[in-house]
Amino acid sequence: DQQVKQNSPSLSVQEGRISILNCDYTNSMFDYFLWYKKYPAEGPTFLISISSIKDKNEDGRFTVFLNKSAKHLSLHIVPSQPGDSAVYFCAARDYSGAGSYQLTFGKGTKLSVIP
């Protein structure tokens, strides 16, 4: 039972255009959502996050939108650059008890930005 779903395994975008990566979730108890970026042979690195009480968070070329009623979030990258080519993981946080939280990850979307 996947609580965090990234239904597109891959996405190709031309350099300079917008990349939109999507993520759906089922657990209404998630209180934070995060995007991680992963290059081959490296660990994931944090990109951007959003609280469940907000609907938008922007950081430079990266914007995350949250539609809580639809249980959907998306990551927009504008403009896309070849260095953005990586696997992007959506993750969601919920409380696991005793003052601790856990992240649940989606399967990832491989973004390829074509020069």
59 binds other proteins (CB under 8 A): no
Residues in contact with other proteins, counted by CB under 8 A, come to a total of 29
With b for 16 or more beta-carbon neighbours within 10 A and e for fewer, the 51-76 pattern comes to ebeeeeeeeeebbbbbeeeebebbbb
Rg from Cα positions in the chain: 14
13 binds other proteins (CB under 8 A): no
**3-class DSSP state of 83:** helix
Is the bond into 79 cis (omega within 30 degrees of 0)? Answer: yes
Nearer to other proteins, 71 or 79 (CB): 71
106 binds other proteins (CB under 8 A): yes
CA distance 77 to 86: 12
11 binds other proteins (CB under 8 A): no
Candidates 12-20, 61-69, 71-79, 96-104; binding stretch for other proteins (CB under 8 A): 96-104
Residues that bind other proteins (CB under 8 A): 4, 6, 9, 31-32, 34, 41-46, 49, 51, 89, 91, 93, 96, 98-108
